[in-house]
Amino acid sequence: MKALRILTRSIRDSFKSVFRNFSLSIASIACTTITLILVAISLFLSYNVQQVTKDLEHELTIVVYLNKDVTDEQKTEIENDLKTMENVDSYELKSKDEWKAEMKDEDESLENALDIFEENPLLDSIIVTVKDVKDLSETAEKLRKYDFVNSAEYGEGMVENVIGIFDAISFGTFAIVIALVLVTAFLISNTIKLTIFSRRTEIEIMRLVGASNTAIKLPFVFEGFILGVLGSILPILLSIYGYVFLYNQTGGYVFTQIITLVKPFPFVLFVCLCLVVIGSLVGMLGSWRAVRKYLKI
């Protein structure tokens, strides 16, 4: 009960303090808000980029064309090897006749052209789906080493570039978020430092009458928490309305049909949860730093 009373008192005092030092609180809240808006943008960006990369990964395949004179034994050999290759997720054999039928379905002129040949000029092939697109070229290189493999193609160059750009975007946004979080923690820490200074007589009396260190420190930590949570309100509203608006306006596609946006729900709610957690944690960490540094008890 006693601990509960101290806790209630700490929460009450921290609310009082937020309003008592209103201008300082507003400065901290504004800073947290700006940071969290940027954090939200980074989260939306990096998650969407991750999603697009994932989609690309699923769609990217290596098409292995086998020589015309390939034997059934050789096909079995490569199939067995594919089963044990680390980066191979799945594979599918596609005979030259299947190719021909598919091409005929797609285009009539191709049907006529293919009919000119007495023998099907296409090659038997294997379509390989990989686990990690980053090792796509390595896997293709391994498959090219077989004598009976004519070629292994996957759109060299373009894939590496796209993945490289996406990786850079993810890393860049992550680095910015970390830097902003640190700056906010520092600013909240400064606010709490000034609060501690403005309440030094109160703290001194608390120490004199025998308040435990926890009872003295707790209101300041709560104050940081409150500042963090208040600072996350606007970013949350902007995230919900902003992202839903963007999604509705673009119809879920950016530039091309390949780049799709993640559906707003429950994604936006997850981002909002992240914002509250980051806001409150940063607030508490900032105030904890100030309490440790300026409240030597």
Among 55, 59, 89, 204, interactor with another protein by CB under 8 A: 204
Number of residues located near another protein, criterion CB under 8 A: 20
The distance of closest approach from Cβ of residue 7 to another protein in the complex, given in angstroms and rounded to an integer, is 9
Indicate whether 295 belongs to the interface with another protein (CB under 8 A): no
Contacts 24+ apart (CB under 8 A), 66-73: 66/123, 66/124, 66/125, 66/126, 66/148, 66/149, 66/150, 67/123, 67/147, 67/148, 67/149, 67/150, 68/123, 68/150, 69/148, 70/124, 70/148, 71/148
3 or 158, CB closer to another protein? Answer: 3
201 or 256, CB closer to another protein? Answer: 201
- Distance (Å, rounded) from C-alpha 260 to C-alpha 190? 42
Report the site for another protein in 210-249 (rule: CB under 8 A). 210-213, 215
- Distance (Å, rounded) from C-alpha 6 to C-alpha 216? 10
The distance of closest approach from Cβ of residue 295 to another protein in the complex, given in angstroms and rounded to an integer, is 11
114 or 211, CB closer to another protein? Answer: 211
100 or 199, CB closer to another protein? Answer: 199
16 or 58, CB closer to another protein? Answer: 16
Report the site for another protein in 8-67 (rule: CB under 8 A). 9
Indicate whether 112 belongs to the interface with another protein (CB under 8 A): no
What is the H or E stretch that residue 140 is in? helix 136-144
48 or 195, CB closer to another protein? Answer: 195
- Nearest C-alpha neighbor of 225 from the set 284, 161, 293: 284
Stretch of 3-11, 30-38, 43-51, 281-289 lying at the interface with another protein (CB under 8 A): 3-11
262: phi then psi, degrees, rounded to nearest 5: -70, 140
93 or 211, CB closer to another protein? Answer: 211
10 or 25, CB closer to another protein? Answer: 10
Indicate whether 206 belongs to the interface with another protein (CB under 8 A): yes
The distance of closest approach from Cβ of residue 196 to another protein in the complex, given in angstroms and rounded to an integer, is 15
Please give the C-alpha separations between residue 110 and each of 11, 100, 102, 119, 295, in angstroms, as whole numbers: 76, 9, 10, 15, 81
Give 197-254 as a DSSP string: HHTHHHHHHHHHHT--HHHHHHHHHHHHHHHHHHHHHHHHHHHHHHHHHHHHHHTTEE
Stretch of 24-32, 133-141, 197-205, 262-270 lying at the interface with another protein (CB under 8 A): 197-205
Q: Are 116 and 81 in contact (CB under 8 A)?
A: no
Among 23, 84, 201, 256, interactor with another protein by CB under 8 A: 201
| Omega prior to 266 cis, within 30 of 0 | yes
The distance of closest approach from Cβ of residue 212 to another protein in the complex, given in angstroms and rounded to an integer, is 5
Q: Would you tell me which residues interact with another protein (CB under 8 A)?
A: 1-3, 5-6, 9, 201-202, 204-213, 215, 297
